[in-house]
Amino acid sequence: MQSEYSSLFDLALEACEHSYAPYSKFRVGAALLCEDGSVITGVNVENRSYGLTICAERNAIAAAITAGKKKFKALVIATPDADYPVSPCGACRQVISEFMPPSAPVVFGNSQNSYMTSSVGELLPHDALHELAGELGE
């Protein structure tokens, strides 16, 4: 893994230890690099009503917003219980695109040796939000 994301992956992996995944046994941790250099982590929190489960990515973003941070540089996601790198779900992709520019890197993997690097724009192509924001001058 690229050295700049290696420490973020370690933080995401460490966060997995706090995951609440009694049903799927599929832990997920996320490390969100904020524009100011701070890192906010999140974990998946399952519920027996699966639709109420909160993904690690959205949990990290919500925690960052709660801490007053709204600009992010990169997101790293660890899925140590998977056999391969697992990308963010559709709901997470939508939330990620709300707060990160299309060029922002998103790294996801099950280990330091098995990961993929993408961008927000590659994960959610043809995202009208950024086009709309440009038209509104935001």
Res 132 pLDDT > 60: yes
Structure token pair of residue 87:
């990308």
Nearest to 95 by CA among 60, 133, 137, 68: 60
**pTM score, whole prediction:** 0.91
The residue assigned the tokens 């832990």 is 27
Of 38, 121, 42, residue with least CA distance to 76: 42
Residue 39 has pLDDT above 50, yes or no: yes
The question of whether 14 is a catalytic residue gets the answer no
Q: Are strands 72-78 and 114-119 parallel, antiparallel or unpaired?
A: unpaired
Which of 113 and 128 is assigned the larger pLDDT?
Answer: 113
Q: Please give the Cα distance from 61 to 43 (Å, whole number).
A: 11
- CATH node for 3-135: 3.40.140.10
What pLDDT is recorded for position 130? 62
SS3 45: strand
Rg (alpha carbons) of the chain, rounded to whole number: 14
- Tally of residues, the chain: 138
Catalytic-labelled residue, pool 57, 98, 131, 138: 57
pLDDT higher than 60, residue 16: yes
pLDDT in tens, 40-84: 999 999 999 989 999 999 999 999 999 999 999 999 999 999 999
- Give the integer Cα–Cα distance in Å for 61 and 71: 10
Collapsed DSSP state (helix, strand, coil) of residue 25: coil
Angle at 108 between CA 9 and CA 79, to 5 degrees: 75
Task: Indicate the DSSP class of residue 50.
Answer: G
For residue 17, what pLDDT band results from cuts at 50, 70 and 90?
very high
